[in-house]
Amino acid sequence: MRALAAGELTPVTPRTAATVMLLRDTAEGPVVHMLRRRTSMAFAGGAYAYPGGSVDPRDARGADTAGPTPAQWAERLGTDEATAHAIVCAAVRETFEESGVLLAGPDPHTVVADTTGDDWEADRAALVAHELSFAGFLDRRGLVLRSDLLGAWARWITPEFEKRRYDTYFFVAALPEGQRTRNASTEADRTVWVRPQEAAAGYDRGDLLMMPPTIATLRALAPYTGVAGALAGSAARDLTPVVARARLEGGEIVLSWPGHDEFTKRIDPA
């Protein structure tokens, strides 16, 4: 951080990533699916997060999709068509790999109702092991990726002083009818469905560890009284990247996230 603030550090190029906030309605309001990363993980160990991960180069291959065109996704995500397609594919693939939920169906108007069973688990394991591409998985099962079920929500980039950096796109999606989540990830030791307000309160009390993007997106979800409203609201969300800045001020290092003052930290370099 001192080197960055002094202009002596060349930041690592971040890896493109995608994560999905799965939502479902309850009598008490919407709940979001979260997982707790194992403490042994090199990045954000012990922190609560959403299903997600890095874009795989094979995610750019031509999976059949329903919903916005590649050009429309490129405009929404602020990137080129090939990258936008890969990001959307990664969001759906990672959600299936880490929660068992699949945003795909046999046609542009339906979604698979059940992804449990040994055959589905074998395919999921093959995806995780990079033995099967997501496009190949969908093609073999005769499925279409339902990108219209995703709503782009936010974009956060890991601070420039970190050695492991990600340029992460956050999406919202409703849990498809008939499907259910499970802890399918080897990177997590716990999963929960929780109201955003309750998770945020746990963070405020110091009971739940979260990275700034996670708690910020939870706070943004809290005002919604239903999943449909959150999905509709995603269309107006600002996707300007949020990235931490470090500067020297009065002998201290000031670390800040533009637009998110609650995360500002002042650090004595001594």
Q: What is the pLDDT of residue 237?
A: 97
Number of domains making up the chain: 1
The verdict on residue 128 lying in a domain is yes
Region 232-257: mean pLDDT is 89
Residue 140: strand, helix, or coil: helix
The verdict on residue 251 lying in a domain is no
Q: What is the pLDDT of residue 269?
A: 66
**Of the listed ranges 9-23, 101-115, 182-196, the one predicted with least confidence:** 182-196
The verdict on residue 6 lying in a domain is no
pLDDT value at 270 more than 60: yes
The verdict on residue 175 lying in a domain is yes
> Which class for 21: exposed (0-12), middle (13-18), buried (19 or more C-beta within 10 A)?
buried
The verdict on residue 238 lying in a domain is yes
The verdict on residue 248 lying in a domain is no
Residues 65-103 have pLDDT tens digits of 889 998 999 999 999 999 999 999 999 999 999 999 999
Q: Which helix (H) or strand (E) holds 262?
A: strand 260-267
Query: Among candidates 199, 239, 235, which has minimal Cα distance to 219?
Result: 199
pLDDT value at 7 more than 80: no
Residues 133-179 have pLDDT tens digits of 999 999 999 999 999 999 999 999 988 888 889 999 999 999 999 99
Instruction: Residue 200: give its domain's CATH number.
Output: 3.90.79.10
pLDDT mean across residues, the chain? 90
Q: What is the pLDDT of residue 267?
A: 81
Domain region containing 103: 11-242
Cα distances from 235 to residues 91, 93, 105, 229, in angstroms, run 17, 22, 23, 11
Residues 58-72 have pLDDT tens digits of 887 777 888 999 899
